[in-house]
Amino acid sequence: MIDAEKAKRALVTGGSGAIGAAICRVLAARGLQVIVHANNRLEAAEGLAAELRAGGAKAQAVAFDVTDRIDAARALGALVDESPIQVLVNNAGVHDDVPLAGMHGEQWDRVIGVSLTGFYNVTQPLLLPMIRTRWGRIVNISSVAGKEGNPNASSYSAAKAAVLGFTKSLGKELATKGVIVNAVTPATFESPILKGVPQAHIDYMRSRIPMDRLGTAAEIAAAVCWLASEECSFTTASTLDTSGGRTTY
């Protein structure tokens, strides 16, 4: 029987979305106390936290805007006052795909703000409390777009490429402090978001994946779960590809 009172605490940003929810479920199943983050979808986050508690886990929901440094610091400070967060999954992200020639500055700023600057705004306030415990796991959700680039997605590809550099740098920085930092790079995966995407585009994205299918949120969550575990003890500053073979470097 898992003792939830003694379990490590895990914060999953964007925890109310498809990938985030899958990550929350698998971490809870591994015995972690899960903090489900949302921005505008607090009701969904609270519903997921209630589901996890019903299954015997310890879970709560929290809402703040990762692009608002002051708001994020305030919310994270309140959480850390309770006890350190030792597992952080930087999953919150958005994309606004449009050719750069027609992209407004506000579109660029929003994608970079959530998908890159938000990683700093959440990670930095948690580092010293995590380091003091001499044990931590940070998993950053990047994308195959950060390795290869996607057409009409320069802002998203730029943010996700920067996340890979962020991961390598921070992983080396914290390597002797007991904190391990890695990233995962999903390709297109099955998601409710695809309901609004033309089938021809989905077929094109699938054709680029050697396994000839889309990934699932559960498969991405399984990779995150290992990177967040005790078993992941000699892997840091690295990227675990979860693209079905679309990219292998």
How confident is residue 183, by pLDDT bands cut at 50, 70 and 90? very high
- Nearest CA-CA partner of 17 in 115, 99, 101, 108: 115
pLDDT at 248: 54
pLDDT at 133: 97
For residue range 83-131, what is the model confidence (pLDDT) as tens digits? 999 999 999 999 899 999 999 999 999 999 999 999 999 999 999 999 9
How far is Cα 242 from Cα 119, in angstroms, rounded to an integer? Answer: 20
Residue 93 token pair = 């992200």
- Nearest CA-CA partner of 45 in 29, 55, 34: 34
Domain boundaries, the chain: 4-242
pLDDT at 127: 98
Burial profile 209-241: b = 16 or more Cβ within 10 angstroms, e = fewer = beeeebbbbebbbebbbbbbeeebeeebbebbb
How far is Cα 184 from Cα 176, in angstroms, rounded to an integer? Answer: 22
Task: Judge contact between 137 and 117, C-beta under 8 A.
Answer: no
pLDDT of 145 above 50: yes
Which residue has better confidence, 5 or 194? 194
Task: Judge contact between 127 and 75, C-beta under 8 A.
Answer: no
Residue 27 token pair = 């971490």
120, 156, 204, 249: which one is catalytic?
156
- Three-state secondary structure of 31-87: CCEEEEEECCCHHHHHHHHHHHHHCCCCEEEEECCCCCHHHHHHHHHHHHHHCCCCE
How far is Cα 95 from Cα 93, in angstroms, rounded to an integer? Answer: 7
13, 54, 141 from 60: Cα distances, Å: 13, 12, 21
156 labelled catalytic: yes
Q: Which CATH class is domain 4-242?
A: alpha beta
pLDDT of 192 above 60: yes
208 DSSP 8-state letter: T
How far is Cα 105 from Cα 244, in angstroms, rounded to an integer? Answer: 33
Average pLDDT over residues 183-191: 86
Average pLDDT over residues 28-40: 97
State which H helix or E strand residue 100 sits in.
Answer: none
pLDDT at 214: 84
Amino acid occupying residue 142: S
Predicted TM-score (pTM) above 0.85: yes
Residue where the block lists tokens 């796991």? 137
